Structures are given as C-alpha cells and as structure tokens.
Amino acid sequence: MISSRGCPYRCTFCLWPDVLYGHQFRARSPQNVVAEIEQAVRRFGHDEIYFDDDTFTIDRQRVLDICRLIRERGLEKEMEWIAQCRVDTVDREVLEAMKAAGCGYICSASSRARPRC
C-alpha cells in the first residue's frame, strides 16, 4: 500500500526519490489510508499490509492519526503491518503507537554515524 509519495531527504544510499516519486512529500489523509486498510482486511482477507512509502513517518501527527484510526476500528487485531522509516523521524510515542496499532516490523537504514541526509 502506498500512503504517501516522495521524500525530502537526500540520503546518499537511496535512489528511490530520484527515480520514482521525487523529493516533494505528498500524503493521503489518515482517514483515506485506514479506509483502504479496512477494505483490504475485511473485504479481501489480507492479514498483512506493507507500506511502500519512501518514509512512512515523515509527518508525525499523520502517523499518530493513522494508528489511532486503526485501533478505533479494531483493525490491529486482524492484521499486522510493516513500514519504512527513518530513525530520526520516530520517537518513543510514535513507536509505541505503531506497535499498539499492529505494526510488527520497521525497515530502516543508516548510511553513516555522522548525519548527512
């Protein structure tokens, strides 16, 4: 599932923004995203969702809203999801919200100890 496109960061190891969605971040609303999740789970029987966003956690409040809506609809009991994240775009509250909403796996990468991207 794609809930947003684009990544404003210019990490040296990442080619996706240059070849796919660009560097301008554009996101679907939390309501729209969770409605699609609900349809995938309840209508089509999916039990896992993979967010193929360049960086799912760029907009902190949007992530928290998606997690809240997933829990309000009880979807966290019916599926697990995976997201790609930058480690500097999450904090304890976001990670706990993601886990409570059924996130079972986070993909992240780091290119060096000194921040450059």
pLDDT at 87: 87
pLDDT at 47: 97
Which string of DSSP letters, residue by residue, matches 25-43? -EE--HHHHHHHHHIIIII
Q: What is the pLDDT along the chain (117 residues), one digit of tens a residue?
A: 999 988 877 776 666 655 566 667 889 999 999 999 999 999 999 999 999 998 899 999 999 999 999 999 999 999 999 999 988 899 999 999 999 999 999 988 665 555 555
Contacts of 95-104 with CB under 8 Å at 24 or more apart are 97/63, 97/64, 97/67, 97/68, 98/63, 98/67, 100/67, 100/71, 100/76, 101/66, 101/67, 101/68, 101/70, 101/71, 101/75, 101/76, 102/70, 102/75, 102/76, 102/77, 103/67, 104/80
Residue that the structure tokens 């304890």 belong to: 92
